[in-house]
Structure 1
């Protein structure tokens, strides 16, 4: 990991993101394990006892939402999203820097816009009082991770843009430079 930022704001940011990173990693691991366990238990129940788990589908839906959105910000932080690099790789280094700044700020703006719409959707759904039939959980609670994760993802792209403005290496994310990415890709 390449970090050349210093100062109290950068240090505080790194500490907070370190905690968020561990939390998201735990959410991803636990959610995937719970999905696997839920599916196995449902199959065993259906085959052995001729009775499916009544909540299996709803639980998996909630876990898929968690994995999707926790994974989005986790991947943004680690430079793991799919990249189309044909034009980027063909450019000289100084133009790569300009392109990545444009890409990160544009992506950040798009993600923050989606975050805004996800909040407005939750605010629209919440007063309707819908609940999941099997788990008896309000529907809007299953969507709460979406705006949180989208905000973190937008912030990751925004900070990556800032890092690219003030530091020499080309940062693909707050944690990964283009050189580090290319070294891993060659393995």
Structure 2
């Protein structure tokens, strides 16, 4: 579960599948929307890398204490090492999004997915086309 959660976060960020509170983003257009996208991706990247650093320190501490799982006696720092990796990969994905938004005229929710606001009529037409 730990592996799926933290590596899945990076995958969701890469594909633009992460949960977003988009009411402010949807209300904005043009330069303010672009600035918001730059701000959100940069701040999120920094937070993810900070969490990667904190979790790395924690995993290192667990390793030095030689903590093991109760039944299998498996070193816990091996299990928890995926946490800083997942945070770091997620941070990288958000930095890529930041740079994509910096270079492009469009707004991107990930490096590969453009932010597209569809009205209900466009959504229905797109659904019928699939």
* Aligned positions of 1:69-84 closer than 5 A: 69-84=6-21
Kindly report the root-mean-square deviation, in angstroms, between the aligned alpha carbons of the 2 structures.
1.7
2:35 is the alignment partner of 1:98: yes
Helix, strand or coil: the match of 2:87? helix
User: Which residue in the other structure is 1:125 paired with?
Assistant: 62
Q: Which residue, out of 163, 168, 181, partners 2:105?
A: 168
Question: Between Structure 1 and Structure 2, how many residues are aligned?
Answer: 122
Larger relative CO (CA 8 A, sep 6+): 1 or 2? 2
Closer, same or farther: CA 124–89 of 1 in aligned 2, 3 Å: same
2:83 is the alignment partner of 1:146: yes
TM-score by length of 2: 0.88
Residue 182 of structure 1, CA deviation = 4.5
TM-score by length of 1: 0.62
Larger radius of gyration: 1
CA offset digits 1:55-96 (Å, max 9, x no partner): xxxxxxxxx101100110000001111111111101112211
